[in-house]
Amino acid sequence: MPTSTDPALIPVTVQTFEVTIPFEDFGRQFRVDGGYGSPSALSVNRIVFSGDGGLEVRPLLRFASAPSSISVFPPGESQSVADSAAIPTGGRVTVQLDTVRFSGIPPFELSAGALNQEWDHLSASWTHAVDTLGGPQPWTTPGGGDPRPLEQFSWDPAEGNALVIELDSMTAAEWADLDNLQRGLILTSSTPGSRLRISSASLQLDLLSSINPDTTVQVTSPLTISTMLLDQTADFEDGRMLVGGAPSFRSTFRIELPDSVSATGPICAGAPSCQVALTADRVVFAGIGFQSIPQEPPSLAPADSLVLDLRPVLSPERLPRSPLGVPILPQGRVVGPGQFEEGGETRIEIPVTRFIRDLARAAPDDAEQPPSMVSLISAAEPSGIGIASFGAVGTPDAPVLRIILTATEGVTLP
């Protein structure tokens, strides 16, 4: 509550100024780590063949096994009974493709095959069918082994969205067996520039009754698990910041604030420039700007929007598996795919005001030091197959720290 009306008791002139600190003056211990998450966590499976040597994606689909029994009517009977010895005689897989969101020039040349190696959807990759601690098992040929050919298609989105893949009795019997860990469908494209989305997929099996040979029952098995094999070939520039992909990349660095910053203008009382102490009470706003860079080859760039998170690294000594704190910007920063295309480069700023204030406030001898290392990640890992690239450390496109400060002669703010 005011006790005097004399304005001379408290200075009212506040000088506000902005500084931009280059990465080399605040960034330390930069690193890029990969391998976070699995393509199996993605909600949309894709078929991709870039043709530029950058990206190929082959989805693997596994369906539920046949039911343990079917209900049939024995010859001459009006009461149905359970038949647990029905024989698979054939079937078909129906794959629905997105006819609106696709890239490339139709028609697309597609192939479907039956996998003939055991595979694990959580660890399968372009080179390995299984890659777990129990013992890695490479594909006989990278990219899904040597699948048995099932069908080939020349697909034009203008003519419909469904691919119907007919199965012979041998494949139907294999896929009806719950214990068969080889069962699975692989889809590939040979059309350069193709980028297709799978909307849904289901398996229909024809089961011949062992009780009534004149009865064939069709049962539908939903898609239960899936993953994608990604062949990503890129020669990333040293120091370039990478985010996203499947599995995902993270870019991590430590922030070390200078004791003072160089200022110009009225704050310097007539001098061309001056040094102003960087203290927590002077920080009005702080943000780290990341320069988006066109991805090379373009097929590796994000095809959808990406949500960026900047999160504190809680145990730097445990990198690359350190736990992370809550996002510094709670809602994240949404960036569009166009920002990673030629001509779409832009500086993407993530506010870090409170984080910078905490660092500026901490004393070197404080028992509890706030986290000073941060990771730039995608909010979901993975969130898509595209990789976002940002300006490399040591180049003009490297990240910058922008701070708006205030200074008042003779008074500091709490």
Q: 42 by DSSP, 3-state: which? A: coil
Mention every residue, 6+ apart, whose C-beta is less than 8 A from residue 18. 402, 403, 404, 405
Per the structure block, which two tokens stand in for 85?
A: 């010895």
Give the start-to-end residue ranges of the domains of the chain.
Answer: 7-38+235-407, 55-232
Integer Cα distance of 328 and 352 in angstroms: 6
pLDDT value for 7: 55
State pTM to two decimals. 0.85
Q: How many CB atoms lie within 10 A of CB 81?
A: 15
Q: What is the per-residue pLDDT for 411?
A: 45
Question: Given phi > 0 = left and psi -120 to 50 = alpha, else beta, which region is 360?
Answer: alpha
The three-class DSSP label of residue 400 is strand
pLDDT band at 412 (very low <50, low <70, confident <90, very high): very low
Give the three-state DSSP class for 339. helix
Q: Which of 96, 210, 214 lies closest to 155 in space, CA to CA?
A: 96
Average pLDDT of the segment spanning 54-74: 91
401: its two tokens = 């720290």
Q: Specify whether the CB–CB gap between 391 and 293 falls below 8 A.
A: yes
Determine the average pLDDT of the residues in 380-394: 93
Q: Average per-residue pLDDT in the chain?
A: 91
| Average pLDDT rounded to a whole number, residues 25-33 | 96
Task: Give pLDDT, residue 326.
Answer: 96
46 Cβ contact partners less than 8 Å away, ≥ 6 residues apart? 57, 59, 195, 196, 197, 198, 228, 385
Alpha-carbon distance of 115 to 383, in angstroms, equals 26
Identify any residues that bridge with 275 across adjacent strands, giving them in sequence order.
262
The CATH fold of domain 7-38+235-407: Jelly Rolls (2.60.120)
Would you call the peptide bond into 7 cis, given omega within 30 degrees of 0 as the criterion? Answer: no
